[in-house]
Structure 1
Amino acid sequence: MNDQQNPYDPYYPPQPQIIGYDAYGQPVYQQAQTQHEQQQAQAQYDTYAQPQQPQQSYGYDQYAQGGQQQYDPSYAQQGYGYEGYAAGYGTGYDTAQQQHQQAPAPQHARDPQPPAPEPEPAPSAAVPGQRRPAQSPPSAPDADREYRTEQFAFVEDPDEDSEDVIDWLKFTESRSERREEAKRRGRNKVVALVVVLAVALLGGVGYLWSAGLIPGLSGEETKQGGAASGPQKRDVIVLHLHNTGNKETSTALLVDNATTKQGTTVLLPNALSVANDDGTTTTLAKSVDEDGSTGTREAIGALLGTRITGTWRLDTPYLENLVELVGGIEVSTDTEVPGAKKGDAPLVPKGENQTLNGRMAVAYATHRGSGEAEAAQLERFGQVVHGVLRKMSDDPESATVTVQTLAQILDPSLPEKDLGASLARLAEHAKVGDHKTALLPVREDGTLSEQATGSVVKDILGGSVTAPEQGAAVRVGVRNASGDQDATEAARVVLINGGYSVLDGGKAETESSSQVIYGDAAQKAKAEEVAKTLGLPAGAVEKGTAAANADVTVVLGQDYEVP
């Protein structure tokens, strides 16, 4: 479309010429020139040389108000390059073009024509020429027709905004999240499995330990035999139940072993032989009636080799109130307690888990059938004590309030606060099944056999005898094996005068020679002193198994001479 039909006709209107392309790839046309402008352009050597206007792309100012550019011979010395371009690129036309443009110059000089007034072009009608970059000036006339990358604008969508990319990112992200979630669930399952196995293992070991199936680690062995490894912390209270109806008494020891976590109620028969303040022998029932609480407490402590912290006297009316305060008790009765009058309904029925109120509990604890031994009545008394402890609060403050509500006058050795604390600890053992009742067996004469004494002392004290306090008398057990009934009393008097505490060990089979036995090496010197006091030879002293409730045991043989 750039080819003209009459290129040499001065009156033929010029056609627009494409001089380049804009940034969007559209052609840019050269502004149409008038005849005068064309003639003037031919009269100049370099239409592009504009020293005064270096920013124009061509040889005229499209937006100028008027004026013609005259030929200046001095410009012939300059190149045809545009001043706005870099000097290194040279001129913008080749030699052939220079010769074509220089030929008409003399003709214009011979036949000059006055220029017609040039109309002012409208700025809006002009098509601005495209400025060529200085980095790549054309070296040929057809350089403007070449397509270069800088002439085009490429619109690129960011990868993050592409729908395909977004979908792929969402897919990979969700897949990664699912993979992490699966790993997290797997770890949680492993942790849960480990916890379950650990709990099951601990539960199994605990069951075997409680059932006593682990040798050397059973709970019963720990409770009963743990005392042998060292001293234990114990709290012992003596309880006297006074029957206001027939003036009889029943005695028990309430033992709290804090080391083995075991509570025990030890029932003491009234026929138990104990020592009076003057050293004479008496029964437990007479000691309670004659010596009072303090003397009886000390006598029992000396007999069993333990320290009793206090005495609790509980009359039957207070026992009735105590049972009512705890809300009644449950006891498996072994007999039927008849009513007060003949023909009345039984006061206490016989059977398992019988609920007893205060009146029924007192009747059952003090009941002794015709021809029954004292031990049967003591067993019923122990059942009532155990039932009360199970219903008692294991909180020391609450237990103390219960004791205060009884409004009884207590022994000075056991204030209300101390009694409440002791009962709370025993109640804690009874609630979990760590409380038991034991009867102290005695011979017909009221003395303790060596086997019975050892078993009871072991249950109470863990197999060891409490060391006597500083300044306390040495406990000496005397067993008569001489065949002379007066030998025991004679030896007792001699030992008491020598400052010893005498424990009646009863009778034994006849032996020819006497013995002074000590169990602990620390008691050897005391055993030698006891032998001298009784007039026995030094050879009679030997190490062996002494009575559990005595420091030194004396066996009187036929060689012992009664003073």
Structure 2
Amino acid sequence: MVPPPPEPPALPVTLPASTATPADVPRGVVAADGSARAPSTKPGVRSSSRTTTRLELKDVRRAIIRTKRKHRRQKVLGVLITVLLLAGLVGTVIYLTGHDRNGRDASKNTSGAGVRTQHTVLLQVRAPDGSALSSALLAWDSQKKSAAVVLVPDRVVAQVPGSGAQPFGLAVDQPGGPAISRSTMADLLGVRVDASWVLDQAAFIHLVDALGGIKVDVDVDIIGKQGKDNVVLVPKGAAQQLNGVRALAVLSYRAPGEDELSTLPRFQHVLAGVLAELPSGTDALAALAGKIGKGSEISSTGTVTSLLDGVRTDAAAGRNVYQIMPVLTVDTGGAASYRIEPVGVTRMVNQVLAGSRLPGRFDKGNRVLVLNQVGTPGLGQAVRDKIVAADFVFVDARNQKPFGRTKTIIVVYDATPKTNVRASQLATALGLPQAPVQVGSRDQNIADVIVYLGSDFKP
């Protein structure tokens, strides 16, 4: 049973109290490398072979009742996180385990072994508040000469490393935002995100103007304020020639009654207009990016310019594939929000992103949840990178009180040789090959392995 989520603004969902504070080294537990470990003698720490205690049914009922009462008074974001965690957990687990609704292993539709030829770039335009206004994942395969553009709803809820479940668009506003945003997108889709280009609104305007303007099909009159009056900023019509200011107006416009999904085709037209005007060659693209200056953040100029040159070429040849990320609408009583649609996302990844799929994504027993009992900010991203690099699936990293843990502990849910090997590999990936492993009773279905992070972990 999934434990009830805490009241906002504490976004991370705490696991049952039974898994909150495992014994440091219980009897009968071995280190990840297979060596025997003695019980902990640290003052104040109890040694116990029992790491979990099932919640009583009446406690669950009481918790659910309390949660419902509290949530009636919470803001939309809090309600959103609760609904998504309760309604979307099963679908997310289906996606993470790589099986479609018929039980078929989705990993069998892969691009084959060998040198990776597809690369990806996350392109984002920031809103004035620092969150993402528009986001797209661009992919290009240099061998197949094929490009794909996935349009991303910024209100799709994702697990942000170190911050828990949030609308994806908020990730880029975290400290180290572009890197956090790339990791969040990678974990959401299960694909590598090689680089990113993030533009604030002024930089986007500068980009379009540096291109000499762009041509965009505009589906509706774009209404905006001019002084106190509402005026038509951009009229409806095909192949409208737009400067940077007008292109931004189209990109950011939402007509009365529209939800975010309705605006994504508009974003597609603007993006297609930009791609059509990009100069040819990586040197010219690097020079263009250099002209924009402040407000433009490129994580890897070589990766971004190479990919954009390929996508630009395919766009000119009509080979680009545009697709909106498959999502399900979640009604929270306010602005529409979304969660991924597992079957649709698996199908999309197989069709257009198979060459960038993260290894280990569909291995059973591979999902890792990290509970940070150190409390140091920023550890979520650091531990996530080590976990994913070792071909594990990162579920989330959350702060877990009490803080002050010194020794990292890995909790698994069976003692089979395969699980022991996996635990050893995870401990080594974290740089802690001697980390003790506990076998817990399964009273949660969020992850296959839980890491209780101590101060012995070094980013």
Normalising by the residue count of structure 1, what TM-score does the alignment of the two structures yield?
0.43
Counting only pairs closer than 5 Å after superposition, residues 30-69 of structure 1 correspond to structure 2 as none
Question: 1:503: how far off?
Answer: 4.0
The one of 259, 276, 291 equivalent to 1:390 is 276
Amino acid in structure 2 at the alignment position of 1:399: L
2:177 maps to 1:271: no
Query: What 5-or-longer segments of structure 2 have no aligned partner?
Result: 1-107, 331-336, 370-383, 397-412, 427-437, 450-459
Amino acid in structure 1 at the alignment position of 2:237: G
Counting only pairs closer than 5 Å after superposition, residues 36-115 of structure 1 correspond to structure 2 as none
Q: Distance in 2 between matches of 1:287 and 1:473?
A: 28
SS of residue matched to 1:399: helix
The one of 318, 323, 340 equivalent to 1:433 is 318
Question: 1:228: how far off?
Answer: 3.9
2:244 maps to 1:346: no
Amino acid in structure 1 at the alignment position of 2:441: G
Question: 1:461: how far off?
Answer: 1.9
Q: Distance in 1 between matches of 2:447 and 2:356?
A: 11
Counting only pairs closer than 5 Å after superposition, residues 222-237 of structure 1 correspond to structure 2 as 228-230=111-113, 232-237=116-121
Alpha-carbon contact 1:227-1:461 (below 8 Å) kept: no
2:289 maps to 1:364: no
Alpha-carbon contact 2:118-2:355 (below 8 Å) kept: no
Cα deviations across residues 439-473 of structure 1 (Å, max 9, x unaligned)?
1122327432221211221233238832159xx99
Q: Distance in 1 between matches of 2:164 and 2:129?
A: 30
Do the aligned partners of residues 283 and 270 (structure 1) sit closer, same or farther apart at CA in structure 2, a change above 3 Å counting? same
Alpha-carbon contact 1:468-1:474 (below 8 Å) kept: no
Cα deviations across residues 379-400 of structure 1 (Å, max 9, x unaligned)?
2122211111111122111112
Structure label with greater radius of gyration: 1
Task: Indicate the residue corresponding to 1:476 in structure 2.
Answer: 367
Cα deviations across residues 11-51 of structure 1 (Å, max 9, x unaligned)?
xxxxxxxxxxxxxxxxxxxxxxxxxxxxxxxxxxxxxxxxx
Question: 1:534: how far off?
Answer: 6.4
Q: Distance in 1 between matches of 2:129 and 2:112?
A: 47
Alpha-carbon contact 1:523-1:551 (below 8 Å) kept: no
Normalising by the residue count of structure 2, what TM-score does the alignment of the two structures yield?
0.52
Task: Indicate the residue corresponding to 2:304 in structure 1.
Answer: 419
Do the aligned partners of residues 266 and 535 (structure 1) sit closer, same or farther apart at CA in structure 2, a change above 3 Å counting? same
Task: Indicate the residue corresponding to 1:491 in structure 2.
Answer: none
2:340 maps to 1:448: yes
Do the aligned partners of residues 449 and 409 (structure 1) sit closer, same or farther apart at CA in structure 2, a change above 3 Å counting? closer
Size of the alignment, in residue pairs?
A: 278
Question: 1:412: how far off?
Answer: 6.3
Q: Which has the higher strand share?
A: 2
SS of residue matched to 1:346: strand
Q: Distance in 1 between matches of 2:251 and 2:201?
A: 9
Q: Which has the higher helix share?
A: 1
Alpha-carbon contact 1:474-1:501 (below 8 Å) kept: no
Amino acid in structure 2 at the alignment position of 1:266: V
Q: Distance in 1 between matches of 2:215 and 2:236?
A: 12
State the percentage of identical aligned residues: 23
Query: What 5-or-longer segments of structure 1 have no aligned partner?
Result: 1-224, 479-495, 505-515, 517-521, 538-549, 554-563
Q: Distance in 2 between matches of 1:312 and 1:240?
A: 6
Question: 1:243: how far off?
Answer: 2.5
Question: 1:248: how far off?
Answer: 5.5
Alpha-carbon contact 2:251-2:270 (below 8 Å) kept: yes
Do the aligned partners of residues 534 and 476 (structure 1) sit closer, same or farther apart at CA in structure 2, a change above 3 Å counting? farther
Task: Indicate the residue corresponding to 1:330 in structure 2.
Answer: 215
Do the aligned partners of residues 525 and 246 (structure 1) sit closer, same or farther apart at CA in structure 2, a change above 3 Å counting? closer
SS of residue matched to 1:382: helix
Counting only pairs closer than 5 Å after superposition, residues 458-537 of structure 1 correspond to structure 2 as 458-462=350-354, 465-467=357-359, 476=367, 501-503=393-395, 535=441
2:168 maps to 1:288: no
Question: 1:526: how far off?
Answer: 5.5
Alpha-carbon contact 1:275-1:281 (below 8 Å) kept: yes
